[in-house]
Structure 1
Amino acid sequence: MVKLKHFEDWGINFVLIKNNKRISLLRYWTSRYLITLCIGLVVIAFISALWIRHTTLENRLDMTKLMAQEIADRFVDISEGRPISKGDVPGSLTDRGRFMNIESDPSIYIVDTAGTILSSNRSSKQVFQQFPRVILQNEENVQKLRLEETGRDFYVVKAPIVTQDYSFGWVVIIELEDNLTRVNQEYRQLAIMIISLALLGWAAIYFLSRRLANPIKDVASAAKQVQAGDYNIHLPDDMKEQEVYDLVQSFKEMSNRLQTLETLRTELLAGVTHELKTPVTSISGLLQALNDDVVTGEDAKEFLALSLNETTKMKKMVEDLLAFNSFAANAIPVNKEKHSINEFMDDFIHQWEVIQEDETIDLVFIPLKKDRMVQIDPIRLQQIMTNLLNNARHAIEGKGRINVTLAETNNELTLDIKDSGSGIPSDEQDLIFERFFRGEGKKYKIRGLGLGLPFSKMIAQSLGGDLVLIDSSSSGTTFRITLPMMS
């Protein structure tokens, strides 16, 4: 029983593995399209065959009626108005099937009004002695009957032999339904057309699916390459399909972005190590000098002050890291309050100028002409403004100007900070809001972790607005803070 259970489990697992087997996109689309196409063509072929059969039957019945009428007209010409007799019957009624373009030869009978058969294209053994009057008395010229002995259907077509409103008899043509609907040549042509359409459709979907599958296979291979840590991918750009082109381009941009982030991560480790190692080394050296009594008196106090200063810088960097991580995890609440935006900005700019005590920077504030009330967290907005104004000051070498402009557009307040600095290089503008990114111009001049702008953008978004770079060139840089207005 244990072995049996083992084999049962193995069988179930085998079925699951088989059902989960992946197939290529090319095979998937072509096989399913071919099945769908074949089903559709079979349905079309069936309907077409029925239509051909019906149309052929109708056409041949019309031809049979014309043939019966033609024979009747011949008897009228022969009899010249006399009652017809056997002497008036044409010598041969054979090969009339060719008149209807069928392989068989229909049975043709000439009967008088009493139902006596005067002539037929059949041998005497096959001819009735007396034609059934029920057929002759029926008002319909085309009748469908069934032979009880064989169960086969046949059609009876009759045409009266009439001259001067006097009926002399009937021309009766009898043919099996199978013979009237036999169209082998049309069916062969239909089969050839259906098979040709199936092959053409399969070839078309095969090449189209192949054209679609190849770029996807290239992207899948490139994804494995990126997964392995190799970002130097090569994908073609000559796709005409818009969606495929967008997919390839998006993947290439994603790969380039991942490569940039990987570079930033490496630089982050080096930067954080450097930024933390420098104050630790300084503190260690200064404290070692104090411990070894290398310096005493006032020099010892100065060394201790320097150590405290370096400790404060290191503490600030650690706090920045913790604050950024907490804000990224939505762990820091935002407490909004109602404030007059003009008064708030006047107070903040005054405080910033007092702290800076830098006479080389000319700070100009342009308030709203009509003051507005806003819901803001004053501490968080001050963090954003402090970071932007400090960055603007660092971007200006020597004397310069910073303009802070409040404006109202589309139910939003915009706060533009424009400096007269050297600007941000164009290749760095898309990366300034990336975490831990530091431009080449600031990397070796200003100490920091590259969290100021990303942190400020997160704060602005938590306030219901945003922080974006409007413009940056050699003549200066403009950042914009957007804030929602109170309704």
Structure 2
Amino acid sequence: MFIKNKKRISLLRYWTSRYLVTLCIGLVVIAIISALWIRHTTLENRLDMTKLMAEEIANRFVDISEGRPNREVSGLLTNRGRFMNIESDPSIYIVDTIGTILSSNRPTDRMFRQFPREILSNEKNVQKLTFEEDGRNFYVVKAPIDTQNFSLGWVVIIELEENLTRVNQEYRQLAIMIISLALLGWAAIYYLSRRLANPIKDVARAAKQVQAGDYNIDLPDDMKELEVYELVQSFKEMSNRLQKLESLRTELLAGVTHELKTPVTSISGLLQALNDNVVTGEDAKEFLKLSLNETSKMKIMVEDLLAFNSFAANAIPVTMETHEIKKLLLDFIHQWEIVQEDESIVMTVTPLKESRIVHVDPMRLQQILSNLLNNAKHAIEGTGKIDVILAENSNQVIIDITDTGSGIPLEEQDLIFERFFRGEGKKYKVRGLGLGLPFSKMIAQSIGGDLVLTESTAAGTTFRITLPK
């Protein structure tokens, strides 16, 4: 099936480009909202200042009309832009009650020779209007000139909306801030993405190295990010495990070849001697017996391989039955002890004080126990002891098998349940394919329990079988 190759981009480029786009969009939205907010607040503030200036001019006009100490009105008329903190020049008019312009900073202004009565009669002191000629908006701010409950007229200030909302300096500061945030954000995500991408690139490079069959990888382990550290460490452990499994595979091929070749060679030699009449009589019978023994050993190894493969493919059914675990365990151990010829090993059993019922396949459980007891026997050199202890917790029955053998080396303990693994201590002492413990663990799991190594030291080894109640 043809699959079209998609264009791939680096993690650093992918994250930084998308983050930069997202950041820019977000900052543009923030800039627009901020600019609108600045414009609105600036307009409100300057309208308030315009109202204060109109009221101040009205108060000074009243003081002059009532003969109070003179306060010049012209100062506010000439410094109006500075008073309102704007660069424009608003129009200021002093009109009487009927709208006649009495004074203005625009003596030649052609727009208003007579103020419209509707502007002066409107109850609002701040009005927004529009020029009919060009459609521009402007604001009219008025303040009454009242003295002793008598109205003298109005102070009217007119300014374009665009002048009241002009804040070039604030917009420049906002632009500088937005651009600085964009650059700072991009630099931060670039640094963080690069810090995250580099270990992943190293792992990808190491994966290609492992794929090529080279397991001598070199990955740094000084990263502070927990997830990245766990990724690198997991890959290192996986690589080491693959290296060990590759070594096991090589040893397996040599081991299986040796284990099968040895009986075949023995059988071939013995039968050739019989065929050539090298031995006769009782010796011939002895040779024939040895040939049958070697055939039986080879048959057992082939059956182990077939049984293991069948269990691995879930092809062997498990028959679950209800049994009292104490009685079942004692029967198994009694059967195992009968066929043992070595009396140098002492067997002890510590049962439960109370009766406990388990749901188990008795034949499969016996296979597990027989394998563990045989391994314990092989681990003991000379005299020794095997303890079988039955215990329980809230939902499980526990069977511990402890021997006083030499123990399993620490570097081999993680591999004992690997298929075809044989430790250095057993490789040349006990013939086999290294399927006993993996097979037993598979059986234990198939009946709802498990098999684990709980402890192994120079003083002995303990395996634990757990079964559901």
TM-score under structure 2 length normalisation: 0.97
Match of 1:303 among 278, 283, 287: 287
- Which residue in 2 is equivalent to 1:13? none
Q: Which stretch has the larger CA shift, 383-392 or 19-28?
A: 19-28
Match of 1:168 among 152, 172, 188: 152
Is 1:48 the counterpart of 2:34? The answer is: yes
Q: For the Cα contact (< 8 Å) 2:60–2:73, is it kept in 1? A: no
Q: Give the partner amino acid of 1:117.
A: I
Q: What is the CA deviation profile of residues 110-138 of structure 1, one whole-angstrom value per residue up to 9, with x for unaligned ones?
A: 10112110011113253633211111111
- Which residue in 2 is equivalent to 1:147? 131
- Which residue in 1 is equivalent to 2:215? 231
Q: What is the CA deviation profile of residues 31-66 of structure 1, one whole-angstrom value per residue up to 9, with x for unaligned ones?
A: 000000000000000000000000100011011111
Match of 2:325 among 333, 341, 352: 341
Is 1:400 the counterpart of 2:384? The answer is: yes
Q: Give the partner amino acid of 1:482.
A: T
Q: Mark the CA change 1:117 to 1:267 in structure 2 (over 3 Å): closer, same or farther.
A: same
Is 1:284 the counterpart of 2:264? The answer is: no
Q: Mark the CA change 1:325 to 1:125 in structure 2 (over 3 Å): closer, same or farther.
A: closer
TM-aligned CA deviation for residue 91 of structure 1: 8.9
- Which residue in 2 is equivalent to 1:440? 424
- Which residue in 1 is equivalent to 2:460? 476
Give the secondary structure class of the aligned counterpart of 1:93.
helix
TM-aligned CA deviation for residue 204 of structure 1: 0.5
Q: Mark the CA change 1:19 to 1:346 in structure 2 (over 3 Å): closer, same or farther.
A: closer
CA–CA distance in structure 2, aligned partners of residues 456 and 179 of structure 1: 90
Q: For the Cα contact (< 8 Å) 1:360–1:399, is it kept in 2? A: yes
Q: For the Cα contact (< 8 Å) 1:81–1:163, is it kept in 2? A: no
Q: For the Cα contact (< 8 Å) 2:203–2:235, is it kept in 1? A: yes
- Which residue in 1 is equivalent to 2:354? 370
CA–CA distance in structure 1, aligned partners of residues 343 and 3 of structure 2: 76
- Which residue in 2 is equivalent to 1:391? 375
CA–CA distance in structure 1, aligned partners of residues 149 and 4 of structure 2: 83
CA–CA distance in structure 2, aligned partners of residues 69 and 375 of structure 1: 98
Output aligned runs, 1:169-248, within 5 Å: 169-248=153-232
Q: Give the partner amino acid of 2:194.
A: R
TM-aligned CA deviation for residue 140 of structure 1: 1.0
- Which residue in 1 is equivalent to 2:296? 312
CA–CA distance in structure 2, aligned partners of residues 417 and 173 of structure 1: 103
Is 1:69 the counterpart of 2:69? The answer is: no
Q: What is the CA deviation profile of residues 349-399 of structure 1, one whole-angstrom value per residue up to 9, with x for unaligned ones?
A: 111111002210111111111122222111111110110000001111111
CA–CA distance in structure 1, aligned partners of residues 260 and 112 of structure 2: 121
Q: Give the partner amino acid of 2:269.
A: G
Which ranges in structure 1 are unaligned for 5 or more consecutive residues?
1-15, 83-87
Give the secondary structure class of the aligned counterpart of 1:356.
coil
TM-aligned CA deviation for residue 94 of structure 1: 3.0
Q: For the Cα contact (< 8 Å) 2:77–2:92, is it kept in 1? A: yes
TM-aligned CA deviation for residue 95 of structure 1: 3.9
Match of 2:97 among 113, 117, 125: 113
Q: Give the partner amino acid of 1:215.
A: P
Q: Give the partner amino acid of 2:82.
A: R
Q: Give the partner amino acid of 2:35.
A: A
CA–CA distance in structure 2, aligned partners of residues 375 and 431 of structure 1: 30
Output aligned runs, 1:260-271, within 5 Å: 260-271=244-255
Give the secondary structure class of the aligned counterpart of 1:310.
helix
Q: Give the partner amino acid of 2:220.
A: P
Q: For the Cα contact (< 8 Å) 2:57–2:73, is it kept in 1? A: no
Q: What is the CA deviation profile of residues 74-117 of structure 1, one whole-angstrom value per residue up to 9, with x for unaligned ones?
A: 111111169xxxxx975983341221111110010010112110
- Which residue in 2 is equivalent to 1:328? 312
Give the secondary structure class of the aligned counterpart of 1:441.
helix
Give the secondary structure class of the aligned counterpart of 1:104.
coil
Q: What is the CA deviation profile of residues 271-301 of structure 1, one whole-angstrom value per residue up to 9, with x for unaligned ones?
A: 0011011001100100111111111111111
Give the secondary structure class of the aligned counterpart of 1:447.
coil
Q: Which stretch has the larger CA shift, 422-431 or 27-36?
A: 422-431
- Which residue in 2 is equivalent to 1:356? 340
Percent of aligned pairs sharing the same letter: 81
Q: For the Cα contact (< 8 Å) 2:57–2:76, is it kept in 1? A: no
Q: For the Cα contact (< 8 Å) 1:361–1:401, is it kept in 2? A: yes
Is 1:79 the counterpart of 2:32? The answer is: no
TM-score under structure 1 length normalisation: 0.93
Q: Give the partner amino acid of 1:268.
A: L
Match of 2:88 among 78, 86, 104: 104
TM-aligned CA deviation for residue 230 of structure 1: 0.5
- Which residue in 2 is equivalent to 1:35? 21
Give the secondary structure class of the aligned counterpart of 1:252.
helix
Q: For the Cα contact (< 8 Å) 1:404–1:417, is it kept in 2? A: yes
- Which residue in 1 is equivalent to 2:256? 272
Which ranges in structure 2 are unaligned for 5 or more consecutive residues?
none
Q: Mark the CA change 1:116 to 1:17 in structure 2 (over 3 Å): closer, same or farther.
A: farther
Q: Mark the CA change 1:301 to 1:59 in structure 2 (over 3 Å): closer, same or farther.
A: same
Give the secondary structure class of the aligned counterpart of 1:364.
strand
Is 1:257 the counterpart of 2:254? The answer is: no
User: Number of aligned pairs?
Assistant: 465
Give the secondary structure class of the aligned counterpart of 2:270.
helix
RMSD: 1.7
Q: Give the partner amino acid of 2:15.
A: W
- Which residue in 2 is equivalent to 1:455? 439
Give the secondary structure class of the aligned counterpart of 1:143.
strand
TM-aligned CA deviation for residue 417 of structure 1: 0.5
CA–CA distance in structure 2, aligned partners of residues 475 and 194 of structure 1: 71
CA–CA distance in structure 2, aligned partners of residues 92 and 399 of structure 1: 117
Q: For the Cα contact (< 8 Å) 1:159–1:172, is it kept in 2? A: yes
Q: Which stretch has the larger CA shift, 448-457 or 142-151?
A: 142-151
